[in-house]
Chain A
Amino acid sequence: MKETLEQIRREALAALEGAGSAQELETLRVQYLGKKGELTAVLKQMGKLSPEERPVMGQLANEVREALTASLARRQQELEAAGLEARLAAEAVDVTIPGRRPALGHKHPMSIALDELKEIFIGMGFQIAEGPEVELAEYNFTKLNTDEGHPAREWGDTFYMREDSSLLLRTQTSPMQVRTMEQQRPPIRVIAPGRVYRKDEVDATHSPMFHQVEGLVVDRGITMADLKGTLNTFVEALYGKGTKTRFRPHHFPFTEPSCEVDVQCHACGGAGCRVCKGEGWIELLGAGMVHPKVLQGVGIDTEIYSGFAFGIGVERMAMRRFSITDLRLIFENDMRFLSQF
């Protein structure tokens, strides 16, 4: 009997080891461990053994059963693992095939530049004001110290809606200085972005409609040093810490002293190159201390208050930032252009 058991063990283990599928394994299980299996058949003959032999054989039979069961389980696990591996291998995809992605729209480069600019000034405590584009000449010119007879008021430069030149398309966002000061007392810190209009024919650098951002600060004791500090902070936020600026005298009717602010050319670092036309500097914006006539015109006491204002051309900023070489692209809105941003 012992020999029989040993033989079963040998044969069964070998067979289990060689089983190639779950089905085969099941057949073997039935063959050896099933109710009519070989091992069961041997055990059925235990009764014929002598009492001395019985425990020994019983123990051996159990050993064989356990060995077979363990082997069966192991083999089952192995086969399952192999099966999973095979399935996964079969399910493999070419991950380089593009995904089905929902199309995302694109923000216009002008808005990207403008939003960035707004964020910077919001961070500096500025509010955002908005005002009319169809504007009174009174606000666009007269209250900005630009009297009748000033060249900017000519019909060749400004779009008018009335024969008496009293209603126009604003040529600058500066009327928002006056409108803001009429509605709000100091302290004032606002920027006013918006569309402005000038009678320029369309070409690569001109458009009859473009965008500006006006800035205005009015408070007690505001100085030109504050103007420099504020605009330097803005420039560093826009172009990075340590960006050099140059403030040089200029002229605007509604600021005095006035200045233009240049930033050091990013392309050559100030040495002079094609980007900056050899100057080493790139003109960024115009600014100045609000003209006392403008302040007095809205009833702000110039003995107590002073302020500064600035104006930034958004198209030029966006064009420089994204290396756009032709202004017309901005208003053509070709998808091949828009989808680049």
Chain B
Amino acid sequence: MKLSRKWLAEFVDISAGDKEFSDAMTLSGSKVEGAEDLGAEIQNVVVGRIEAMERHPDSDHMWVCQLDVGREAPVQIVTGAWNIHTGDLVPVALHKSILPGGKKIEKGKLRGVPSNGMLCSLKELGLDERDFPYAVIEAAALLHDYHPIDPDKPSIPADIQPGHKIFGPVVAAEVLECMPLADGSFHTCMAVKDATVCPDIHCSNVHVGDLVAYNTRTDSVCTLADLHAEQKEFPHCISDGIFVLREDCKPGDDIRPVVGLDDHVVEFEITPNRPDCLSVIGLAREAAATFNVPLRLHTPVVKGSDAPQGQTLNELLEVETPDPELCPRYTARMVRNVKIGPSPKWMRERLRAMGVRPINNIVDITNYVMLEYGQPMHAFDYRYVKGGKIVVRRAKEGEELTTLDGGVRTLTPNMLVIADETRAVGLAGVMGGLNSEIVADTSHVVFESANFDGTTIRRTAAALGMRTEASAKYEKGLDPLNTLPAVNRACELVELLGAGEVIDGVIDVLNYVPQPTVLKLEPEKINGLLGTDIPEDEMRAMLARLDFTLEGDTITVPSWRGDVEHYSDLAEEVARLHGYDQIPVTLMRGETTQGGLTEKQKAERRAGELCRSLGFSEIITYSFTSPSCWDKIRLEEGDSLRRCVTILNPLGEDTSVMRTTALPSMLEILARNYSARNAAVRLYELATTYHPVEGQDLADERQMLTLGAYGGDLDFFAFKGDVEALLAGMNVKNVQFERAAEGRTFHPGRCAEIRVNGTPVGILGQIHPLTAQNYGVDAALYAAQLEFQALLDARAPEARYVPLPRFPSMQRDIAVVCDQAVTVAALEDCIARGARGLLKETALFDIYTGAPIPEGKKSVAFSLTLRADDRTLTDAEADEDVKAVLALLERELGAVLR
């Protein structure tokens, strides 16, 4: 919300500068986003009147102008612009002046002729044509500026003379006379061979002596477009030039107030609970309360006039509201004999300062009132209200309406329209209809000032993608009591501007009963909540400043403060006027609490530390994914992981389901790193997965610890080693790895299921080349996924000290030959069971195949550590154990000593 400080000053006197004002308003709850001095960048630019102008002796396009700038002597300035004429008032940047963007202007010479400054365009003043619609320049095609694209084949001969035909009805004409008129057009006379024609033209680059293209059929001067010419063919005939002022000003005046750049604009961020602050009056009230100065409000006074032929307003216009819950109040007045024209400068300036584009007096009045009162207004042409009847109703299914912006809108019954007897003429609270637009010949105008249901308006605007200034206000819920003062203000302005005759009477349909909120003042409770010691009379004074009515302990909340419902809301009002910075700073008293991490949270940290110490880096990925990810990891059609929590309104297919496995996220990140050519990558994520539960609202949210890696000297066993170290670090013992049945996501021969004491806790392995291919990776990827909770449950009890061995151990190495299919785990298991109590450790140290080991067999070598706790072992005892081990190996697995 922008606020013009000039406009604010109409309601409240605040001497504070922008910075002080902004800080104070921010601290009282109206957050300031920034403040701008509209004219800060302009210095030493004044109004000048062109007293004389002649062509530059050494240039084919420049003019040398003599300007009255309110000094004794005229100032000479050379310009390249062609749209100026003697008598024009123009902005003059004098010697040593500054323009927006820090551009400095100094005197100099242009092709030898002294120039003491610069004439300014709109753009050079930091303005544009929206600010001054009248400053639009229409350029005629001047024949002496013609530069043919192909010099050998000119479309217009260089020696063309007045009267010569150019094409069709277009002939060359020489300008004999060119007189600027008050409305910005020009009265001209031109010679066409023997005849003289006198068209009134809008092209401002035409001067006496110019040769133009004249259309004999339309009696007008041709522009480039009329000649189907390109800009480069007429390089100086451009729609750009000096800003010729049509303001009430005189030579020597500072340009800033003339063009409305003497204002300061403060931009506010208004919270959604305070729609009343989306208005000049609302912010003025806040400012008055903040600075504790009086607020000057104004009650609109409308003189009014009788309706024609003794009719009353009610006879001219009837309003029906068949859906009262969507239209709590509808207020309207009428104006007849409207004279559409531009609104006065002060009004245009205020609109501009607040970011609204001036259009015409009636439309500007509705915008002005909306900004001032925060009440959206709409004006429509009475001619097009068929049957003199306004019906505020739900739209019919599929009903169409062309809105003011030209868009054709297809409506639904959830939307509210303003209709006449037969058709919709406006989209309630959003935008008017094109069919009832205020146009140049509008004579009777209906001003609508209504209150609509905020949610309906918000949904309509959202559904149609047309959030407007009006809908943005309505959607927050406006004060129904504001409609009448607003419509009266509009009518007052009509009379003030002489824009028409206001017809007596007001149409006011009330579909609600105003029920002000009443609260009790409880100073102790407020102080208790705030931790303050604010005296009651101060609280009363603060609330009164915000127009709360106090009678004894009873507080009546003003109608525009729908956000105040509880004592805690009152506490906020008191706190913000007292100043949040004035509230003391204390530490909590009462019972102390023990802070800390839960066992699970500690385990999460531990897991992260272990992963990082093993060289894995942490990643964070989205919880939602694409359902196609299951195909990418090649899950079977009926895999239970395909049952998932689905988002009904996702941003896109890519993020439409909640993940049930974190592997795809990991693979995606591995692939991204691979395509970024990151050489060796080790990653981990503690990821949540989401599993729907039959008969339960909430999903089962399970944490997975995923690891993923590729590159470097990685192979299956290096990766498995990392997982083993991680498990050991997490104090998970008794881990078994079994050849996994899964062979789709993972390589069928390089994938292990991880079990602890027989319970599965996860899976690890090399990713199936086809899966990797689905992620665009042609290298070996490795991944593991561990169920975090299962891991926590599988942790061994905390370590207890075992006395260090007091007797030496003995080492026995054995190598056995067995079938290829016998696993190391089976051999180890056999060794463990075969020993007679002296075996302390078994370590694999070699696997060998090839001669002299027979085909289909392998030799596996282990180093066994044997020890007794109570004596030094003898060789015989150790050999006894080894013999028992070998016997069992042979019996159970057919493994014989090599």
In contact, B672 and A248 (Cβ under 8 angstroms): no
Most buried by A among B572, B623, B681: B572
**B608 at the A interface (CB under 8 A):** yes
Residues of A within 8 A of B605 (CB): 115
> Closest residue of chain A to B605, judged by CB?
A115
Q: Determine if B648 is an interface residue (Cβ-Cβ < 8 Å).
A: yes
A26 at the A/B interface (Cβ < 8 Å)? Answer: no
Q: Is A36 an interface residue (CB 8 A)?
A: no
What's the tally of chain A residues with a CB closer than 8 Å to chain B? 86
Task: Let me know if B311 is at the binding interface, CB within 8 A.
Answer: no
Q: Which of B563-600 contact A (CB under 8 A)?
A: 563, 566-569, 571-572, 575-576, 580-581, 583-598
Q: Tell yes or no: A106 within 8 A of B by CB.
A: yes
B481 within 8 A of partner (CB): no
Question: Could you say which residues of chain A place their CB within 8 Å of the CB of B683?
Answer: 333
Chain A contact residues: helix, strand, loop or mixed: mixed
A176 at interface by CB-CB < 8 Å: no
User: Known contacts A134-B690, A336-B676: does B620 contact A330 (CB below 8 Å)?
Assistant: yes
Taking a contact as CB atoms under 8 Å apart, the answer to whether B531 and A224 are in contact is yes
Q: Is the CB of B528 within 8 A of A223?
A: yes
Q: Assuming the A-B contacts A223-B528, A226-B588, A229-B585, are A256 and B566 also in contact, with contact meaning beta carbons closer than 8 angstroms in the complex?
A: yes
Residues of A within 8 A of B598 (CB): 127-128
Q: Is A246 in the interface zone, CB < 8 Å from B?
A: yes
On whether the beta carbons of A105 and B580 are closer than 8 Å, the reply is no
Q: Look across to chain B and name the residue whose beta carbon is closest to the beta carbon of A102.
A: B615
B618 near A108 (CB under 8 angstroms)?
yes
Let me know if B26 and A248 touch, CB within 8 A.
yes
Which of these, A127, A133, A199, A233, contacts B595 with CB under 8 Å? A127
Q: Which of B31, B532, B617, B678 has the most A CB atoms < 10 Å from its CB?
A: B617
Chain B CB within 8 A of A42 CB: no
Q: Is the CB of A151 within 8 A of B272?
A: yes
When the two chains form their complex, are residues A335 and B585 in contact, meaning their CB atoms are under 8 A apart? no
| Residue ID in chain B nearest A232 by CB atoms | B585
A110-B620 contact in complex given A249-B28, A332-B672, C-beta closer than 8 Å: yes
Per-residue CB contact flags for chain A residues 79-117 toward chain B (1 = under 8 Å, else 0) read 000000000000000000000001111111011000100
| Residue B655 at the chain A interface, CB threshold 8 Å | yes
**Using Cβ atoms and an 8 Å threshold, which residues of chain A touch B8?**
none
A130 to B274, CA, bound (A): 34
Q: Which of B222-279 contact A (CB under 8 A)?
A: 271-274
Q: Does B616 contact A (CB under 8 A)?
A: yes
> Chain A residues near B612 (CB, 8 Å)?
104-107
A122–B617 contact, CB under 8 A? no
- Taking a contact as CB atoms under 8 Å apart, the answer to whether B597 and A128 are in contact is yes
CA gap between A103 and B566 in the complex, in Å: 59
Cβ B620 vs Cβ A249 within 8 A = no
Nearest-Cβ distance from residue A285 to partner chain B, whole angstroms: 14
Chain A residues whose C-beta falls within 8 Å of the C-beta of B651 in the assembled complex: 199, 201, 208
| A37 contacts the other chain (CB 8 A) | no
Stretch at the interface among A50-58, A65-73, A156-164: A156-164
- Would you call B462 and A156 a contact (CB within 8 A)? yes
User: Is A239 at the interface (CB under 8 A from chain B)?
Assistant: no
Please tell me if the beta carbons of B587 and A230 are within 8 angstroms of each other in the complex.
Answer: yes
With A132-B699, A149-B455, A247-B580 given, is the CB distance from A222 to B572 under 8 Å?
no
Taken together as a complex, chains A and B put the C-alpha atoms of A162 and B697 apart, in Å, by: 10
Q: Cβ of A195: which chain B residues have Cβ within 8 Å of it?
A: 623, 688
Q: Is A225 positioned at the interface, with any CB of B under 8 Å from its CB?
A: yes
How far in angstroms is the closest Cβ of chain A from B505? 35
* A187–B31 CB distance below 8 A: no
CA distance A333 to B662 in the complex (A): 15
State which of A167, A233, A248 has its C-beta within 8 Å of the C-beta of B587: A233
Pick the interface stretch among A4-12, A15-23, A213-221: A213-221
Contact of A225 among B567, B583, B658 (CB under 8 A): B583
Contact at A334–B622, with CB atoms within 8 Å?
A: no
Given A169-B647, A333-B672: A105 touches B528 (CB 8 Å cut-off): no
Contact partner, B568, options A103, A223, A257, Cβ 8 Å: A257
How many angstroms between the C-alpha atoms of A303 and B286 in the bound complex?
Answer: 31
Does B826 reach chain A (CB closer than 8 Å)?
no
The chain B residue sitting closest to A256, CB to CB, is B568
| Chain A residue at minimum C-beta to C-beta distance from B596 | A122
Q: Does A78 contact B (CB under 8 A)?
A: no
CA gap between A247 and B29 in the complex, in Å: 10
CA A264 – CA B649 in complex, angstroms?
Answer: 40
CB-nearest residue of chain B relative to A169? B647
Interface string of B529-568 (1 = CB under 8 A from A): 1111000000000000000000000000000000100111
Residues of B within 8 A of A166 (CB): 697
Max count, chain A CB within 10 A of own CB: residue among B585, B586, B615, B658: B585
CA separation between A298 and B583, bound complex, in Å? 28
A282 at the interface (CB under 8 A from B): no
Kindly state the separation between the CA atoms of A154 and B655 in the bound complex, as whole angstroms: 19
Partner of A125, one of B455, B595, B608: B595
Question: A275 in the interface, Cβ–Cβ < 8 Å?
Answer: no
> Is A339 part of the binding interface, using a Cβ–Cβ cutoff of 8 Å?
yes
Q: Is A34 in the interface zone, CB < 8 Å from B?
A: no
Query: Min CB distance, A232 to chain B, in Å?
Result: 6
CB–CB B531/A223 < 8 A: yes
Q: Decide: A106 and B673 in contact? CB cutoff 8 A.
A: no
Report chain A residues within 8 Å CB of B583.
224-225, 228, 247
**Contact assessment for A334 and B673 in the assembled complex, using a CB-CB cutoff below 8 Å:** yes
Beyond A219-B591, A247-B580, whether A339 also contacts B617 by CB under 8 A is: yes
Bound Cα distance A159, B645 (Å): 12
Given contacts A167-B697, A219-B588, contact A127 B593 (CB under 8 A): yes
Contact present for B698 and A334 (CB under 8 Å): no
B701 in contact (CB, < 8 A): yes
Report which of A107, A159, A333 forms a contact with B650, defined as CB distance below 8 A: A159
Closest to A283 in B: B31
Measured CA separation A180–B699 after assembly (Å) = 19
B615 contacts which chain A residues (CB < 8 A)?
Answer: 102-105
CB atoms of A251 and B274 under 8 A apart = yes
Given A128-B597, A334-B678, are A105 and B273 also a contact pair (CB < 8 Å)? Answer: no
Among A103, A199, A222, A257, chain B packs the most CB atoms within 10 A around the CB of A257
A110 to B651, CA, bound (A): 24
User: Do residues A251 and B271 form an inter-chain contact, with CB atoms below 8 A?
Assistant: yes
Q: Across the interface, do A251 and B529 meet the contact criterion of CB distance under 8 Å?
A: no
Indicate if the CB atoms of B618 and A226 lie closer than 8 Å.
no
Given A108-B619, A133-B688: A249 touches B613 (CB 8 Å cut-off): no
A48 → chain B, closest Cβ, in Å? 64
Task: Say if the beta carbon of B410 comes within 8 Å of chain A.
Answer: no
A161 CA / B614 CA spacing, docked (Å)? 39
- Judge if B475 is at the interface, Cβ distance under 8 Å: yes
A211 and chain B: residue at smallest CB distance: B620
- Tell me the smallest distance from the CB of A147 to a CB of chain B, in Å: 10
> With A225-B585, A248-B31 given, is the CB distance from A105 to B623 under 8 Å?
no
Considering the chains assembled together, what is the distance between the CA atoms of A126 and B246 in angstroms? 68
Q: Indicate if the CB atoms of A187 and B529 lie closer than 8 Å.
A: no
A134 B645 Cβ-Cβ under 8 A: yes
Q: Which of A105, A123, A155 contacts B611 (CB 8 A)?
A: A105
Q: CB-defined interface of A257-279 with B at 8 Å, one 1/0 digit per residue?
A: 11110000000000000000110
- A133 and B690: CB pair below 8 A? yes
User: How far, in angstroms, from A228 to B605 measured CA to CA in the complex?
Assistant: 31
Q: What 12 new A-B contacts, CB under 8 Å, besides A104-B612, A154-B459, A278-B34? A: A105-B618, A107-B608, A127-B593, A161-B646, A187-B590, A226-B588, A229-B587, A251-B271, A258-B572, A291-B566, A330-B620, A334-B676
Question: What are 23 A-B interface contacts by the 8 Å CB criterion?
Answer: A105-B613, A125-B592, A127-B598, A132-B698, A133-B701, A134-B690, A135-B698, A161-B647, A220-B590, A224-B531, A224-B583, A225-B584, A228-B580, A247-B583, A248-B580, A249-B27, A257-B530, A258-B572, A289-B571, A291-B566, A333-B673, A335-B681, A336-B678
7 closest Cβ pairs, A-B complex: A225-B531, A223-B531, A257-B572, A249-B29, A105-B612, A251-B271, A103-B615
